[in-house]
Amino acid sequence: MSTKLKSYVQGKWTAGEGKGTDLYHAVTGNLLFQAGSQGLDFKALLEYGRANGGPKLRKMTFHERARMLKALAMYLNERKKDLYALSAATGATKADSWIDIDGGIGNLFVYASKGRRELPDETFFVDGNPEKISKNGTFVGHHICVPLEGVAVHINAFNFPVWGMLEKIAVNLLAGVPAIVKPATSTSYLTELAVQEIIKSGILPEGSLQLICGSTGDLLDHLTCQDVVTFTGSASTGKMLKSHPNILDNSVRFNMEADSLNCSILGPDTKPDSEEFNLFIKEVAREMTVKAGQKCTAIRRTIVPEHLTEDVITALQKRLKGNVIGDPSVEGVRMGPLASMEQLADVKEKVKQLMQTCEVVHGSIDQVDVVGADSKKGAFMSSMLLYCKDAFNTNGAHSIEAFGPVSTVMSYKNTEEAIELARLGKGSLVGSVFTADNNFAKDVVLGSASMHGRMMIVNKDCAAESTGHGSPLAHLVHGGPGRAGGGEEMGGIRGVNHYMQRTALQGSPTTLTKILNTFLPGSETKEDVIHPFRKYFEEIEIGDTLNTHRRTITEADIVNFAGISGDYFYAHTDETSLEGSVFEKRVAHGYFIISAAAGLFVDPKKGPVLANYGLDNLRFTIPVYVGDTIRVQITCQRKTKKEDREGQIPQGVVEWYVNVINQKDEIVAVETVLTLVERKNVDTPKAEIKEETKILVQKN
């Protein structure tokens, strides 16, 4: 008797009404589960996410959300054994399951790290640089990104029931947006198990994750402009969803990642005994057989030089013959069945269509030898290699995708033809090039990148550490133009923007500084008698400023710095060579000016400042000559509390906006200096400071 899967909605587990859809074991054909969402109130699901999960997530900073993702990744990492066991029912080998389960958890780790390192410890982030839009700088512009106040609806494909969910929710949760996950029904039982573990952990705020096992019902009818829909699957289904009247009427953000006819290109410089040739053969065979070819990034078109066509086909035939198909639990089996009998029927039908313009050079559409299983009961299929003799005048191989262990070989005569074949896919998630000729690689990439979301170039130098043609990474964009859907997923912090509203702000620098919690040039500053480096992290406020005493630059300074640094550039040391240069006379080293500036603003006594943490955005704007006098204005621009670590002094990073100014009140250099500052979680020092200081409000 089968088990009825449950959806997790409105804070509880609920089985849909009625019988539901029967779900079968991909290897044995045995009935395992039923899935159905009949009876669910889909409008209430959306409202629950908006009213409960959204406000809780938006109150958290990016760093808090990132730490939440890290905790979830660690929790799942310790409990993945059961996920692996159930994953076998989808036809996945242990290696296939590793991609799905460990790969998904890995995405959580990546976004946890990026969120803490690349985003502020705020509930929003400031985008780009300020825009000076008035003559005197009293009216400026800036961009702010805030979380959308809706729900992310993820409609996922059957091939990666864990990875597909985790790679998407990692991004929307970091952005501060709750999610409703709708996995493909055929493998939803594995997603359900993963969500059970997530809910049990108690790590996510209630309402930030809901699960639908079954159809989406009328869910799309109730979306608003604050919601986001992401879809992974077939191009035809994606187009149907994207054109939903409510999505169009409300301009609902829709990100589509569709299956595409990805290609891999072998360079004409290779030979059958070269490393790049062997790497190419290995990669094509692997992409045909991993997950039984059920990957949106799998190599569907194998593009090779005409003079190497027979060698490639022979090498692939040999490698594919060694591919053992059967029950993934049996030792030595390298490829399991497809995910379902429905999927098997679809792939066979597509192969029949391809056979009208291509010939089969390996495998059989009707016969497959399996180990440890019954080929008639499970969704087993032979790996199939086809050859398209006339790829430029027949369209089948460039328009029909058999979503299984199938690839088609096609030939090119020159670089231009290789590029044309790559582009005939009309938009792909990924293309790869195997060559030792960097000029060929450059021509192919620049000629076909506009039709690809990602391109991987492999030679013997990088092969050992290459992540592979078919492996999207959380750091990089996953998506592609045209047939691939025109969307983008992940892409590092770039992906977070899909769940944020970018809003332009206009106002006075002081007002925007208050809103953004980031000092803008021209904003009011605060100066007191206590040096800012004498203050603990909590005591420093945005806009705190120090104006230093002055220093006159001498010829001895330049000579001594040249001797210490070894920098004897002519403009510093040879006044006779200045004719025709940009300098009027002997100029001070820029790095000496920065060093001298540090000498002016640094407080030498031991105090809360623990260390210099770095220097950003350094620019030298006006030369400093012998006899010029400089001073420094240093202002607290931004503060970021660092995560506490055992054995480490509690600390934060303070960013200081630094202007180096000459005797004419001209800015000669600007930089951002970062300091590590000790934290002291008490309120009294701030009050004491205010009592003994006189606050001076002034303009930059």
Active site residues: 257, 296
The DSSP result for 611-635, as a single string, is EEEEEEEEEE-S--BTT-EEEEEEE
Collapsed DSSP state (helix, strand, coil) of residue 390: coil
Backbone φ and ψ for 171, nearest 5 degrees, come out as -80, -50
The total number of residues written for the chain in this structure? 700
> Is the separation of the CB atoms in 493 and 118 below 8 Å?
yes
| CA distance linking residue 431 with residue 428, whole number of Å | 7
Residue 147 burial by CB count (10 A; 0-12/13-18/19+): exposed, middle or buried?
buried
**361 burial level (CB within 10 Å; 0-12, 13-18, 19+):** middle
Token readout for 523 is 């904003």
What residues have CB less than 8 Å from 205, skipping those under 6 apart?
52, 53, 56, 57, 60
Residues 6+ apart with CB under 8 A from 308: 266, 268, 270, 272, 277
DSSP character string of 425-436: TSSEEEEEEE-S
Interatomic CA distance for residues 626 and 683, integer angstroms:
47
For the four alpha carbons of 118, 296, 79 and 35, in that order, the dihedral sign comes to: positive
Stated as kind and residue range, the H or E segment containing 527 is: strand 524-527
In the chain, the amino acid numbered 530 is I
In the block, residue with structure tokens 């996920």: 83
Angle between helix axes 163-175 and 62-77 (nearest 10 degrees) is: 160
Dihedral of the alpha carbons of 574, 576, 579, 581, in degrees to the nearest 10: 0
CB neighbours of 370 closer than 8 A, spacing ≥ 6? 325, 326, 327, 378, 380
Q: How far apart are CA 175 and CA 155, in angstroms?
A: 19
SS3 657: strand
Beta carbons of 349 and 404 less than 8 angstroms apart: no
Q: List helix spans (H) across 544-665.
A: 555-565, 570-573, 590-601
3-class DSSP state of 184: coil
The closest of 147, 146, 151 to 227, measured between CA atoms, is 151
Query: In DSSP terms, which residues pair with 144 in a beta bridge?
Result: 126, 503
> Phi/psi of residue 170, each to 5°?
-55, -40
Q: Hey, what's the torsion of the CAs at 311, 312, 318, 319, to 10 degrees?
A: 150
φ/ψ of 544, rounded to 5, equals -60, 130
What is the helix, strand, coil percentage profile of the chain, to 5?
35, 25, 35
Pairing mode, strands 452-458 and 152-155: unpaired
Contact 129/501 with Cβ under 8 angstroms? no
